[in-house]
């Protein structure tokens, strides 16, 4: 192994870890969108709030928080969470905050 390769290899490993973190942040964002949509739909069709939130917790990344607002024939659900660096390598960086909001019209008989 040449000296140049020995210097570049750690940089490439750190770059790959950063890319993995970006992918994890994107996946967490999508999971938050799905969780918000599931909870909003469940509440809009009249499911009890604890059951609807349970559906959301199954889909959302661990540690996500849900905020539910109802009014004017709609249900609004906001899901927020934090994605930290992969494997503790990038723990010196602040976590990436991800969030999603979904709005659903309530059923006419609700």
* Stated pTM of the model: 0.80
Rounded distance, CA 76 to CA 27, Å? 22
Question: Is the pLDDT assigned to residue 85 strictly greater than 60?
Answer: yes
Query: How many residues does this entry show for the chain?
Result: 110
Instruction: Please give the pLDDT value at position 1.
Output: 66
pLDDT at 87: 65
Q: Check residue 89 and give its pLDDT.
A: 64
Cα-based torsion angle of the residue sequence 49, 34, 25, 87 in order, rounded to the nearest 10 degrees: 70
74 burial type by CB count under 10 A (0-12 exposed, 13-18 middle, 19+ buried): middle
Mean pLDDT of 86-104: 79
Each residue's pLDDT tens digit, 63-81: 899 999 998 899 999 999 8
Decide if pLDDT at 30 tops 70: yes
What does the pLDDT read at residue 17?
78
Model confidence pLDDT, tens digit, residues 2-15: 888 888 888 888 88
Stretch 42-54: mean pLDDT:
93
């Amino acid at each position: 192994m040449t000296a140049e390769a020995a210097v570049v290899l750690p940089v490439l490993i750190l770059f790959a870890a950063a890319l993995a973190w970006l992918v994890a942040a994107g996946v967490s964002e999508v999971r938050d969108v799905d969780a918000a949509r599931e909870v909003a739909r469940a509440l809009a069709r009249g499911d009890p709030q604890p059951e609807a939130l349970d559906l959301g917790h199954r889909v959302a990344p661990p540690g996500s928080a849900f905020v539910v607002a109802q009014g004017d024939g709609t249900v609004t659900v906001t899901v927020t969470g934090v994605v930290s660096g992969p494997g503790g390598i990038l723990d010196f960086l602040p976590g990436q905050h991800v969030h999603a909001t979904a709005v659903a019209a309530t059923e006419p008989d609700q």
